[in-house]
Structure 1
Amino acid sequence: MNKTRKNKHLKKIYIAIIGVLIILVFIPTPYYLNQPGSIEPLAEKVTVEDGHKTEKGSLNLTTIYSIKASNPYIWLYGLVAPHTEVMKEEEVRGDLTDEEYNALLLHMMDSSKQSAIISSFHEANKKVDFDYNGIFVSGVLPNSKAKSIISVGDIIHQVDGKSFNEAEQLIAYLKGKKAGEKVKVQYTHNKKTKTASVETIVVKKSTGQVGIGIAPEDNMSIQPSLDVNINSANIGGPSAGLMFSLEIYNQIIEGDLTKGYKVAGTGTMDAKGNVGQIGGIRHKIVAAHKAGVDIFFYPEDINKEDTNEKEIKDEVKKEGYDIKIVPVRTLREAIDYLNALPKK
């Protein structure tokens, strides 16, 4: 009898444990896991009108595999899995709503493709016209007086009746203001034109720089002399800009920029051909190593806060990777490096 009662008691304990384990599957966590992603040939994603795809090697973009830790089991896996970075949700998307975050990702990709087309066409001496369409708001500081007025994804058209083509022009104008002054902002929100009075604040304590507490970015539309189709499905963010640019350029010019090498890389690209810093570069060099990449381009550290060069050199040295890593500041530097290579 005692044994029977004991067995029943143990059975209840097992059922309770199983119940808890099942419940845990449905409890979300505030974390994301980032891991090395894939290496994807760009000739399959980029097509230039009258361009060629006869390269002996390949130009490839690198990706990061990012997943939401939708339950504690995935989070625990992230703590022990190799080459896995566990990040808090606010580190990934800040305090953005789903609508704002999606608008930001869409703009970043569109801007990346536009800048890649402009910069590569300029290097290939091909005509490309472009127009500025206001200033895209990619972020709003927590202490900004515009926090409850302007949202990520809005387009600023005028400040104090003045129109600005480039983000730098807006920043320069606001620098001349004193903190506490109010400026009249005309902007578009959800396709509706609005006007608001916004108080300026100090946005950089180290320099005393004044602004309205937003992260402004150029917003353009382009008309290239050759049609360019870039299939960016399932690719987020601006970090493929450099490699998009190289692939477009390679399809336009005569010859083969790859020389038979498997080339990959990462880095943002602006319309002037400058390469910028990206996040998660350690994951990308791991992915490149696993895919047998010969040459990997990455953004050179230029400013004090830049870390891409330090991180990638540390990762290569730590893991002992046999891969040629090449820092670049501009698209031109990457082109010149490949042009100087002997054929493989």
Structure 2
Amino acid sequence: MPVPIEFSADDTVNILVLDELDYDRFEMVRSKGEIVINVASSGIASLLLPGGRTAHSRFGLPINVHESSTCSILQKSPQAELFIRAKLIIWDEAPMMHRYCFEALDKTMKSILQVDKLFGGKVVVLRRDFRQILPVVLKASRQDIVHATINSSPLWNFCRVMKLTKNMRLQSCSSPSNVDERPTGIRLPGLLSNMYDSDYFQGRAILAPTNECVEFVNDHLMSLLLGEEKVYLSSDSMFRDEQTMEDNAEIYSTEFLNTIRCSGLRSHALKFKIGAPVMLIRNIDQAKGLCNGTKLQIIRTGIHVLSCKILSGKNIGDMMFIPRMTLIPSTGLPIKFQKRQFPLIVSFAMTINKSQVSNSFACWFVSS
């Protein structure tokens, strides 16, 4: 097809550049067509940013970073061209990321741009509050966690700290549900009469300090919903490779694997009812708003898939089918096994840490 007059031939080759320029045309003219890259440290937070992407997907960061890590971006690649043309990079939830992630991007940007300046001379804005959750370091001491934060990196000496002192979200809040924020018992006012109203669960949640408290609250509120409760059991199995001996297969039976609870894996039996709010615990399709932390509402409980309506992000109201997925624990276990189950958890309640990357809502706190 003919090339649009306002674009050069080079612009039409790189789809990444075109995506970053796909904004309001009049606003882009006023800003002289400058490219701004929005990234976040989690999938659900990236949905809250215009054109947002996760830092790992946009920068090619390795999952397990170390001091010598770099980004998997090649010279003269489409990603490299995007970085060359970018004027500003906004990184949300920066305190949650390990310092080696920022240092990896710094080394990569210097190599791509061939400029010996911080991040290759590009302006990088690091957002979020250090009083929220810090990087998760497995079996680390307090000192190790502090050492893993961005302000323990040599890059921090080149950062300028700018503080926000006025809460604009509360000032612009006009919703009655947000105004009526008060501690209560384990209840959601108007639950049964509004359970099919997507706005109801979109703007409310119960916050609790631990996963055990969250499960207790979720089970209690699930029992209040009308309708039949459907139970979905997981399929757990050991990996059959050279690291798994036959003796282990006898010791770690299927019944034992069903009892294992660890980070990223839910219980063997999931109980759902139509109308219940749930949350994704895996990234499935970011373009369609299905990321780790996305809130949904169950509309139909099928045998192989669950029909759900999205309640958060930019795809609110869209209907999605959620299948079972093979979930594999990453670390912390002496054996290798996999669990095939729906990547969902009931989310009448959520932990305070999980709520920090979700949309704003009226919240009720439950003490442990």
Q: Report TM bin, short chain.
A: under 0.3
Instruction: Mark the structure with the bigger radius of gyration.
Output: 1
Higher relative contact order (CA 8 A, sep 6+): 1
TM-score, structure 2 normalization: 0.22
TM-score, structure 1 normalization: 0.24
Q: Which has a greater percent of strand?
A: 1
